[in-house]
Structure formats: structure tokens, C-alpha cells
Amino acid sequence: MNVCDLIKKYDGKTVVDTVSFTIPKGKVLSLIGPNGAGKSTVMGMISRLIAKDSGVIRFEGKDIGKWKSRELAKKLAILTQHNNVQMKLTVRELVAFGRFPYSGSRLTKEDEKMIDQAISYMELEDFQDRFIDELSGGQRQRAYIAMVIAQDTEYVLLDEPTNNLDIYHASNMMRTVRKLCDELGKTVILVLHEINYAAFYSDYICAFVDGKIAKFGTVEEVVTKENLSEIYKVDFEIIEINNKPLSVYY
Amino acid sequence: MVKSKTYRGYGKIFFGLTALVLAASAAYLLVDSKMYNPRLFEFALKLRIPTLLVMMIAAFAIGGASIVFQSIINNRIVTPCLLGMNSMYSLVHTAVVFFVGSGSVIAVNTNLSFAIDLVIMGITATFIYGYLFQKTNHNVLYVLLIGTVLSSFFGSIQSTLVRVMDPNEYDTLLVSLVADFNNVNSGIILFSLLLLAALVFFLRKDLALLDVITLGKDQAINLGVDYDRTVRRLLLGVVLCIAVATAMVGPVSFLGLIIANIARQMLKTYRHIWLIAGAALVGMAAIIAGQLIMEHVFSFAVPISTFITIGGGIYFLYLLLFKKGEC
Amino acid sequence: MIRRIYGKSWFSTAILAGLLLVVSFVSLFVGVVDIDINTLLTDRNAREFEIFLLSRIPRLLAILCTGTGMSVAGLIMQQLCMNKFVSPTTGATISSAQFGILLSLIFMPNASMWGRTLFSFTMSICGTWIFVWFIQKIQFKDAVLVPLVGIMFGNVIGGVTNFLAYKFEVTQQLSSFLVGSFALVIKGNYELVYLAAPLVVLAFIYANHFNIVGMGKDFAGNLGVNYKLVLFLGLTIAAMITASVVTVVGAISYIGLLVPNIVAMFRGDKIRGTLVDTALFGALFVLVADMIARTVIMPYELPIELIIGIVGSILFIGLLLYKLKNGRKAIRLGRKERNCHG
């Protein structure tokens, strides 16, 4: 999947400015940057949730706008930050929606199997008949991830998956992200605020500043003292833990 | 395993509701119908069967429209009637009569004038409400408040038109223009039935997608739904349903809110087929039983809509104030 | 600097007052019977002179009192509740007053205007108190919830009123109190509306107190103002003005909501400075609406409530969208973003 000269404006203000990059297959890519740098907007555009003003997004060689929405849903899944479902829905029913692009509302045996797998992968067996509005934030997030797994796509896009989670659930979430890539072979793209989660759990990092790509590269290339100070305009120190560059700021 | 149990639960609820509707209908047709005298009986039935049909159709239209609308906007306290769609229909109807004259062919032929109303209503309502949602960015409280104001806005224009048409006999003209439960419009039963059947047929795919739309716009798109198109089609369906109901029994603002929420409460499912059927049955039971009581206990003195307004208003306040989590 | 601001404020007040005078004068000569000013001055026994005295002048005075009273009532309520969307319409005051009238129709069918007023005073005061007590207790997160609750509360009261009216068969008599109209205002049956005048003066005297109470309980306590007393006094004044208007001309919505908001856009929120402008502008607004109502379908006339209902709702929706767009900047609003989390 590659992106070329992507531009998005809101009320005349350019939020995303000629952004081009290629998403490395089978890896975890994190989009980082200060607030309002345009990371979520880019994520929205590559997942067709937000219409682009100009530029090209090519997915498997075909422009994303030319894909049938239903077909694309079998290849690419996105989970946004705001998922407030008003209706009484059990965890299992939610996960079952992941099979919608394949079978519509009528589930086949195959679908049921995929749903079971997704639920057990996220260790939600005990909750599967609970209503999602009765769950804690961490459990709910896991239920949504299970749905994305059931959707069985090659690409998974997550917009701030650790938002509103405590440290325990957030790091669990990041481990799951790693597993999605390593065990299930998915390409995962994340928007993250926590630089250290990005540094520790992803393969590539793309840093945005003011709607433009400031740095793009492997974790080691991007997470350096100079780069981070430039991006965030705050002093950073880098220390190495488990061969990963982690940052300290204050 | 668990699933089948829940479905059996629905079965029971639906059986109960259907029985209730049948019992209410039978009572409505038979109570005080002078069965001992075949001719009087026949006469009573002739009057009552169309009214019964009208009430059933209206209940289905209002219940279905309310459920669909709530799911589109993802909120349980918003129904199309609360946003003034029914007063808009009354206005459209009055305006048509106003501009073509009450004696013209268009106004005299109920089916023809209804068809014209529907076309105008379909276009203007989808435009106005689509604009409203877009402008308020789906902020539910603003949608509600503006809708409430729109409702009185349409009402004021309609009253003005009626008064301009006939300043002397304001009340008589108003009665002949706008239906109510004691004065149902049974001339359009066949038309309405066909229209509703056509709506269900053409929107069957969109209705199936409603289950997914419940998850919110982003999720729906993620799962491959053509969101904007589906919502547009469904909104048009809602508008037409409300037009049918209002044309038949007049404006009843809170009915949809009550029956849709009772159905959601009873069924606790996200499956819209069940929800719509449930809301329709609840609506039928409520209206028929209500009308039965009204005719025989209060002997037509108090219109049923008064009760719906009081009960619905209190219920609305309850939802607004104490069920914030679901709003 | 200060002088400049004062100079400017007097300027707008003077313009409004001048405009009001001119329009008032013109309005006296709008009607089914053409009245020539010469006849008026020369022939004191002419039929025209009688019409003038019995109908035109009372009508003008009633309009002025209504416009002034309703907008001042709205201003007071908005100040006291710290919410720009509270008004006699959106605060259940009007519907409570109608409920009071209904009670008087049921229990004292032969009551005089004054008897009716007593009922309507009591009920409107109670209704407003209950509503305000309620919204203070709940403490809404979003300012828009308040008018929504108020309108629904009013709907419920209206429903009960309707039900009882049907039950006791007084719908016909009640209907004239439901839709505001100046058509029936003639000498002898409207004088009650003058009550609005002393009440507005009272409001002016206590304006600063209302302002202080509007800043909050702690703020008022700090300045040694009795919060509860002033709050209830203010609400009572607003409710009484509304009730007297409803009893004489019937319900007139939106004025109390719109006029103070429009004036505040230009003049800010200091009540002493805006009160006079609000009163003048309110009177002008109603006067113009009444002239439209009188001329659209001559020789008949439309109830003024319909004209104000149409114009008012458009303005109100415009105001809402404006506030939604400009948020806090324009006028104090609660949280702008979505109130409901799943």
C-alpha cells in the first residue's frame, strides 16, 4: 500500500500537506507526532473514512476509491477511538459483525468458527455473552480487537488503541498488536501518543509535524535525541532497554 | 446454546404481543356492537374495520420509522415526530390545498392529493433534516432542540395558512384538513398499504444494513457499508412512513418514542427486523386499547393524543434526565 | 474611554426609543377603519375618535406592555439561571399560567379578570419556581438541555391542561388564552396588562442584584446578597409579568427568549445597561409583528402569536446554529462538545 501527495484541508487550513509514504508489509508501523499534526486524518484517509482532497492512495495496485467498499472491508480493518455503541449488544454479537463483509447478516459455520477463534484469541470466552456496555474499558477494547480479528484482514489500522487505558491494559494492548503482526502475519498501522510504546513495539515509525512527514524509518533511525527534540520541541534523553531506544522527557 | 435460548424468549414475547393485539382488535370490533341485530352489527363493523386498519397501519409506520430513525442517529430519545416531521406533513398537506384551492380535483381526490403530498414531503424533508444533521454535526441535543422549534414553526405556518384560507370558520377547515384518532382518514388505506409494502421491499437491503449502522459511522464503513447512501435511503423511508401515519391519524408526537423504547426494552436485541416488528405490535396494542377505552369509557370526550402527550412527555423527561448513558 | 462607552450606549437607546415612537404613532392609523388625523383633531364626537379611544390606543398600550414585559421577564430569567436559553416559553412559565387560567375556568366560571389573574399568577409562579429549582438541582452539563427540558415540561403541563379542558368542556373558552392575539383588546378588558409597567420598574431597581445572583451563589454570598431571596423575587417578578400578559392577550412565545439574546449580542451582559434597550426592542418587535398580523389578510387579522411563532422560530434556530458554531466565544454555553458518552 502506498500513499502519494495526500492533501486534506479543513476550512481552508491545510491539515495534511503532500504526504507520501509506503506502508511496509507484514510490519508494525506507528504514526506519531504532536497534537494536530494530522496523523489521525492520514489514518482516516487511508481507511476511506475521511475523503481526501487530492493525492493518490494505492492499495494492492488499485486506487482506494475504486475498491468496492465491501471488498476493501475484507482486506483492511480500522478501529477508531470513538466506539460508543448505544444498542444492547453482547460481545459475541459484536465480534460476529466482523464477518459482515463476508456473509452479511447470515452467518455460516465457517463464520462461527472464525468468531470462536477471535474470541479465544483475545481471551474473551468468559465475557462473550455479556453486554458490551457492561464491560470495563480494557475489556471493551479487547472485544473490538476481537471483532477486527474476526474480520480477518491483512491490514489492521488502529487509531490510538491505548487511549483511556491504564498502564496494565495499555501494555497488554501493545503486546496484542505485536502478536497480530508476528503470529497472524498482519500489517498493523497505529496512531500513538506514547512514543515509548511506539519505539518498543513497532518496526517502523512515521513522525508527523504540521501535516507533513518529519521522519520516516525504522525505530532506531527515528527515535534519536535530535529527531524527537525537533519533532516535539522538548528536550529528550534516549536510553536503551532490551536493545530498544526508549525516550525520557520532562 | 445461549443464543437459541434468547430467541425462544423473543418467541414468547412476540406470541404475547400478537395475542394482545388480536384481543384488543376483537374487543374493539365487538364491544357494544349490537351483535343481536345483524344490520346494526354490520353497520358497526363497516365503521370500525377501516378505523382498526388505519390504526394498525399507523402503528406500524410510526413504530418502524422511530426504530430506524433512532438507529440512524444512534440515540434512543430522538424520534422523527419529536423533530417535527409530522407537523411538517400537516403543513405540506395544508399548503397543497392552499395553493390549488380546496375545490380543485387535486384536493378532492384523497389519493391524488396524498401522492402529491408524499412527493413534496419526501423532497423537502430529506433536504431539511439532512441539512440539520450536517449543520449540527449530529450533536443530538441541538438536533432535538432545533427539531422541537421546527415543529412549532411548521405548526405556526400551517395555522396561518388555514386562517388565511378561511378566517371565519377556522376550526371546521382545520378539522377537515388534519386527521385525528376520532376522525381517521380511511380513504387512503389501500394506497398506504401498497406504499409501505413497496418501502419494505425496496429498503430490505438497507434495513439489513441497519444492524451494522448501529455500530456507528466509522465501524459501518469499516465493515464495507456504503454509509451515506444507505442512510439517505433509510431517511427517505422514515419520512414517507411518518407522512403515511400523519395523513391517517394526525400528528401524535410522542407515540413513536414510547413504543420504540418499550420494544427495545422488551427485546433487548440489536436485530432490527425484530425491533421493528416489536415496535409495530406494541404500537398496535397501545393505540387500539387506548382508542377502545377512549370510545367506551370517556365516550369520545378526550382524544387519545392528549394522554400520549402527557405520558410521552414525562417519559421523555425521564429518559433525558436519568438515562443519560443511553442518550 | 468610559465616557465613550456610555455615549455609545445612550445612542442605541435613543435610536430605539425614537424608532418606537414613530412606529407606535404609525400603528395607531393602521386598521380596518381609515382614520384621518384631521378628523381626530377637529371632531371629538366622530365615530373615528371613539374607535381611536376604545380600540387603537388600548391596543397600542397593550402591545407596548406585552413587548416590554415579556422581554424583561426573559432577561431576568436568563440572568438568574445563568443560561441564555431560559425564558417564559422555555421555562414552563407560559404553560403554567395557562394552567392557572384553566383552573379558574373550572372552579370559578364567573370570575372576573382579576380572579383569573390571581389563579394564573399563583400557578405561573409555582411552575417557574419548580422548574428553576429542578434545573438548579440537576446541574446540566450542556446549556441546551435546559430549554429542552423546559419545553417538554411545558408540553406536559399543556397536555394536562388540554385533558382537563376536554373533561370539563371548557376548551372553547380556554382557546383564546392559548394563542396570543391583540384582536380582543378593547377598553375595559385589558387594563391588567399595565401591571407589567411597575414590575419592569421594580426589575430595573433590582437589576444589579439580579446580575450578582447570576454570577453564582458563592459570588452573591461574598458580596452580602441574599441569594435565595433575590432569586425567588426575580423569578416571581418574571412569572407575574408573564401571567398578566397571558391572561389578557394569551400566550406569546419566543419574545422573552430572543429579544434579550439579540440585545446582548450588541450590548453585552450587564443587565443595567441592557434592560432599557431590551424593553424598547421588545416593544418594537411586538409592535411590528402586530402590524404585520393586522395587515396580511385585511379586513381580518391573524393572531400575533402565529407571526411571532414563524419569525421567532427562524431567529431562534439561527441563534442556535450561530452559538453552535461560535461556542463559548459568543455567549456563555456549557460544554460545546457532545454531552453523551456511551
d(C-alpha C327, C-alpha C337), whole Å: 9
* C-beta atoms of C149 and B317 within 8 A: yes
Q: Is B306 on the interface with C (CB under 8 A)?
A: yes
- The x, y and z cell numbers of residue C296, run together, are 396580511
Whether the per-residue pLDDT at A171 is higher than 60: the answer is yes
* Residue, of A222 and C11, whose pLDDT is higher: A222
d(C-alpha C281, C-alpha C302), whole Å: 22
Q: Is A38 on the interface with B (CB under 8 A)?
A: no
Residue by residue, what is the 3-state secondary structure of A181-247?
Answer: HHCCCCEEEEECCCHHHHHHHCCEEEEEECCEEEEEEEHHHHCCHHHHHHHHCCCEEEEEECCEEEE
pLDDT digits (tens, 9 = 90+) for A30-59: 999 988 888 989 998 998 888 888 899 998
pLDDT digits (tens, 9 = 90+) for C261-302: 888 877 776 777 788 889 999 999 999 998 888 888 777 788
Of residues B159, B167, B301, nearest to C300 (C-beta) = B167
- Average pLDDT for residues C33-57, to the nearest whole number? 73
* C-beta atoms of A97 and B226 within 8 A: no
Whether the per-residue pLDDT at C224 is higher than 80: the answer is no
A:201-230 residues touching chain B, CB 8 A cutoff: none
CATH number of C2-330: 1.10.3470.10
Q: Is C269 on the interface with B (CB under 8 A)?
A: no
If you write DSSP's letter for every residue of B46-115 in order, what string do you get?
HHHHHHHHHHHHHHHHHHHHHHHHHHHHT-SS--TTTTTHHHHHHHHHHHHHHHH-TTSHHHHSHHHHHH
Q: Is A99 on the interface with B (CB under 8 A)?
A: no
* C-beta atoms of A85 and B218 within 8 A: no
Q: Is C305 on the interface with B (CB under 8 A)?
A: yes
- Average pLDDT for residues A185-208, to the nearest whole number? 92
Lowest mean pLDDT among A165-169, A230-234, B160-164, C190-194: C190-194
pLDDT attached to residue C9: 64
Whether the per-residue pLDDT at C334 is higher than 70: the answer is no
Name the 3-class secondary structure at A248: strand
Beta-strand pair A54-59/A62-63:
antiparallel
* C-beta atoms of B140 and C324 within 8 A: no
pLDDT attached to residue C327: 58
Q: Is B9 on the interface with A (CB under 8 A)?
A: no
ipTM: 0.82
* C-beta atoms of B218 and A98 within 8 A: no
Identify which of B315, B321, B319 has the alpha carbon closest to the alpha carbon of residue B76. Answer: B319
Nearest-neighbour CA in chain A from C325: distance (Å): 13
- Average pLDDT for residues A70-93, to the nearest whole number? 82
- Average pLDDT for residues B307-327, to the nearest whole number? 78
pLDDT digits (tens, 9 = 90+) for C55-104: 788 888 889 999 999 999 999 998 888 888 888 988 889 999 999 999 99
Residue by residue, what is the 3-state secondary structure of C290-309?
Answer: HHHHHHCCCCCCCCHHHHHH
pLDDT attached to residue B303: 80
- The x, y and z cell numbers of residue A232, run together, are 516535539
* C-beta atoms of A69 and B226 within 8 A: yes
Of residues A47, A93, A94, nearest to B222 (C-beta) = A47
pLDDT band at A200 (very low <50, low <70, confident <90, very high): very high
- Torsion sign, CA atoms B159, B162, B167, B169: negative
Burial label, C309 (beta-carbon count in 10 A; 0-12, 13-18, 19+) = buried
Whether the per-residue pLDDT at B250 is higher than 50: the answer is yes
pLDDT attached to residue B194: 95
Of residues A68, A80, A97, nearest to B223 (C-beta) = A97
* Residue, of B158 and C144, whose pLDDT is higher: B158
Nearest CA in chain C to A134: C342
Nearest CA in chain C to B159: C306
| Contacts with B264 from chain A: Cβ below 8 Å | 87-88
**Burial letters C24-38, b for 16+ CB under 10 A, else e:** beebeeebeeebeee
Lowest mean pLDDT among A90-104, B86-100, B139-153, C217-231: C217-231
- The x, y and z cell numbers of residue B267, run together, are 427485546
Q: Is A11 on the interface with C (CB under 8 A)?
A: no
Domain range for B209: 2-326
B:205-264 residues touching chain A, CB 8 A cutoff: 208, 211-212, 214-219, 221-226, 264
Q: Are A206 and A200 in contact (CB under 8 A)?
A: no
Q: Is B163 on the interface with C (CB under 8 A)?
A: yes
pLDDT attached to residue B20: 94
pLDDT attached to residue B99: 87
Whether the per-residue pLDDT at B193 is higher than 90: the answer is yes
Q: Tally A–C CB contacts below 8 A.
A: 7
pLDDT digits (tens, 9 = 90+) for C249-269: 888 888 998 999 888 877 776
Whether the per-residue pLDDT at C221 is higher than 90: the answer is no
Output the average pLDDT for chain B: 86
pLDDT attached to residue A115: 93
- The x, y and z cell numbers of residue B307, run together, are 394522554
Of residues C151, C169, C340, nearest to B327 (C-beta) = C340
Whether the per-residue pLDDT at B112 is higher than 50: the answer is yes
Interface test with A, best of B76, B204, B222, B273 (most A CBs within 10 A): B222
Whether the per-residue pLDDT at C117 is higher than 90: the answer is no
